[in-house]
Amino acid sequence: MVLNKSLRPLWSQSKHVTDIIVASRRALATTTASAEATTEESVSAKEEQKFKLMAGVILSRPPIVTPEPTAFEKAYHHYQSELYKRLSWTFPHWFYFPKGSLAENEYKRVQPQLTEDDPNVLLNRKRDEKQEIVFPPRSVQRETEESARIYAKIVPQPRKTEADEKNDITKLDRKLDRTLYLIVKKEGEFSDWQFPAAPIRKGESLEVASERVLLENGGEDMNVFFVSETPALYYKKFYKEDETYNGAKIFYLKSRIFNGMFKPQRGSQITDYAWVTKEEIESFVSPRYWTIIAPALSLH
């Protein structure tokens, strides 16, 4: 066959494209066969490994009081307080102490008197400074039960509790400004510290199984709320010696306790339990377990 010289470049390009297509199809066939072989190997490997499905609960007690302010926050609040006093209106003593009354005379008697010749003084106050108010001393003889209640000093409750002083980690009334998490220690295969968990029974949903975990481990004296039906954490645990299962796959739901107490139940195999903060958990659990659960825990 004789080719027209003018068509030779086009024929050469067409042959080159055909070679590329053939090579691509061969490579694709090789890749597909390799992928199918790998998939078959992975499926056979999965069939060899059997894992027990389990439900776990991350039970937490949210903070009860606001956190202690930092040094910067204290300085900021002090600045705002002083600025508010500087820009606030002059104290209306005529509203609280009626004009011409004995109370007004006692109030004026204890106030520092400023000279009215100073143009910066108005209503016995320097306009470029905050007003300092001095109240007359209380008269116990004329004090009534109602006035005593009004003048009574407000004493806030201590932020440190008895459980904090004794470092009792089994109590919920500790670390009031932090989130506490429940961890337990059991006999047998789950002898390490971790969140409560138990196998999922046939026909149970994850939420129902998680509720049963709390009931069987901690009893009925708890008012809890499950945040979501979606697992917040997944953990795969491998067994060292077990003829039936190679390990367990644990799906954790988050839950919060509002009142009541966790009381280990008979048959739960719990040997110890603790309510601890995120930082304290690290010293209890294994390094691998801590690496997996840390992102799911609150910073405060």
Whether the per-residue pLDDT at 40 is higher than 60: the answer is no
How far apart are alpha carbons 57 and 251 in whole angstroms?
A: 8
Q: In this predicted model, which residue has the larger pLDDT, 64 or 144? A: 64
The predicted pLDDT at position 18 comes to 55
Q: Same domain for 198 and 270?
A: yes
Q: Same domain for 97 and 203?
A: no
Whether the per-residue pLDDT at 103 is higher than 90: the answer is no
Structural domain containing residue 102:
71-151
The predicted pLDDT at position 166 comes to 93
Q: Is 124 left (phi over 0), alpha (psi -120 to 50) or beta?
A: left
Q: Is 89 left (phi over 0), alpha (psi -120 to 50) or beta?
A: beta
Whether the per-residue pLDDT at 57 is higher than 90: the answer is yes
Q: Same domain for 200 and 135?
A: no
Average pLDDT over residues 174-195: 88
Residue 70 neighbours by CB under 8 Å, 6+ apart: none
Does 23 fall in a domain? no
How many alpha carbons lie under 13 Å from residue 200 in its C-beta half-sphere?
Answer: 21
Average pLDDT over residues 120-126: 74
Tell me the pLDDT band of 113, cut-offs 50, 70 and 90.
confident
Domains held by the chain: number:
2
Q: Same domain for 75 and 206?
A: no
Q: In this predicted model, which residue has the larger pLDDT, 49 or 35? A: 49
Q: Same domain for 179 and 254?
A: yes
Whether the per-residue pLDDT at 5 is higher than 50: the answer is no
Q: Same domain for 106 and 249?
A: no
Tell me the pLDDT band of 234, cut-offs 50, 70 and 90.
very high
Does 219 fall in a domain? yes
pTM above 0.85, yes or no: no
Q: Same domain for 248 and 223?
A: yes
Does 283 fall in a domain? yes
Neighbours of 204 (CB within 10 A): 15
The predicted pLDDT at position 154 comes to 82
Whether the per-residue pLDDT at 45 is higher than 70: the answer is no
Give CA 37 to chain center in angstroms: 46
Whether the per-residue pLDDT at 78 is higher than 90: the answer is yes
Does 38 fall in a domain? no
Q: Mean pLDDT over all residues of the chain?
A: 81
Instruction: Classify residue 243 by burial, with Cβ atoms within 10 Å: 0-12, 13-18, 19+.
Output: exposed
Q: Same domain for 57 and 76?
A: no
Q: Which of 38-42, 55-59, 138-142, 150-154 shows the highest mean pLDDT? A: 55-59
Q: In this predicted model, which residue has the larger pLDDT, 58 or 29? A: 58
